[in-house]
Amino acid sequence: MKIASVSIVGLGAVGAVVASRLTSFLGKAKVQCIVDAERKARYESDGIFINGVKQDFNYLTPENAVPSDLIIIATKNLQLGEALKSIRSAVGAHTAIMALCNGIQSERDAASVYGKERVLYSFIIGISSIHEKNQIRCPAEGRIVFGEKDNKKTDRVKAVEELFAKAKIESEVPENIHLEQWKKFLLNVVFNTLSALCRAPYGAFSAPVMRDLARSVGKEVIAVAQAEGVPLTQTMFEDTLLLIIDFDTHGKTSMLQDFEAGRKSENAWFCGTVNKLGKVHGIPTPVCTLLEALVEGTETARDI
């Protein structure tokens, strides 16, 4: 099996970088960037620049897309619904779909529309990228972590792994993709949410009060993960906490940046998901319930 064509939806800080690597390897004609008509006109007029270099992408509107071997969705969760609609013409008989969205919901959403057999579980970690208008500055491209739902090393996993290697995209196929997803989900729920509400950079989590807050959120995420059959542990959380403390002292999470820019956050996919799954399993999540409400209240008040 070989991946010879790719469609990408979402040309932000993640998608544009991935599209650039794949276009350089496969060629412009084999990588279609699916965008709406307004974005197509804007991108073709103004361009997209990565680290100062203008990108030569193949922009197509959804109705003009053709089937691809692989589809990569690199939008935020807020745009996932529209993204799933836009790829319909790109889905062929054997197309695989990867959604690099934060959280643990995007694979379920993609499977509900196109079937679970098409979906590869995936996320990106370690990327450092700032997107302002048509300029993207990306000092660290990160790593795509992916795998099958059952963690088997199938032919298509090997084919995607080979594609990424040849395109110089760092990737990893872990033994348990669900555990790795929940590790990142833990990080997002705890540190994105608290940093946004407290207006706290990474360095703030070295303070005892912030560590205690983080642990109170983490305990609820771990309890829900274990109810879902994912072996997330307190030790893994403590490792994550140490990792966060080692980040740039003045660095900011994406959710804090969303708050400061007046953008709607992914709160519903962070604490919101923990609370929904907690109810399913009969596990109380009072801290996450409060945090979800505080974020929603803050965003509502901002729009008045």
Domain boundaries, the chain: 6-175, 178-302
DSSP per position, 1-32? -----EEEE--STTHHHHHHHHHHHH-GGGEE
User: Taking CA 15 as the corner, what is the angle to CA 133 and CA 7, rounded to the nearest 5 degrees?
Assistant: 125
Give the mean model confidence (pLDDT) for residues 13-37: 97
- With 90 as the cut, is the pLDDT of residue 55 above it? yes
pLDDT of amino acid 124: 95
Alpha carbons 265 and 268: distance in angstroms, whole number: 8
Q: Which of 16, 183, 215, 21 is nearest to 102 (CA)?
A: 183
Q: What CATH number should be reported for the domain whose range is 178-302?
A: 1.10.1040.10
- Average pLDDT, rounded, for the chain: 96
Structure tokens at 113: 């529309």
The share of the chain scoring above pLDDT 90, in percent, equals: 89
Tens digit of each residue's pLDDT (9 = 90 or more) over 153-177: 999 999 999 999 999 999 999 999 9
User: Which helix H or strand E contains 276, and what residues bound it?
Assistant: helix 271-281
Alpha carbons 246 and 71: distance in angstroms, whole number: 34
pLDDT of amino acid 147: 98
pLDDT of amino acid 119: 99
Type of residue found at 271: C
Cα–chain center distance at 224: 20
DSSP per position, 101-162? -SSS-HHHHHHHHH-GGGEEEEEEEEEEEEEETTEEEEEEEEEEEEE-TT----HHHHHHHH
Structure tokens at 233: 């542990």
pLDDT of amino acid 57: 98
- For residue 208, the SS3 value is helix
Q: What is the dihedral of CA 270, 271, 274, 279, to 10 degrees?
A: -140
Alpha carbons 127 and 149: distance in angstroms, whole number: 24
Is the domain spanning 6-175 CATH 3.40.50.620? The answer is no
Evaluate whether 6-175 and 178-302 have a shared fold.
no
Higher pLDDT, 121 or 254: 121
Tens digit of each residue's pLDDT (9 = 90 or more) over 245-297: 888 888 888 899 889 989 999 999 999 999 999 999 999 999 999 999 999 99
pLDDT of amino acid 218: 98
pLDDT of amino acid 130: 79
Q: Is the pTM value of this prediction over 0.75?
A: yes
Alpha carbons 158 and 210: distance in angstroms, whole number: 42
Give the mean model confidence (pLDDT) for residues 179-189: 97
pLDDT of amino acid 261: 87
pLDDT of amino acid 208: 97
Cβ neighbour number for residue 143 with a 10 Å cutoff? 16
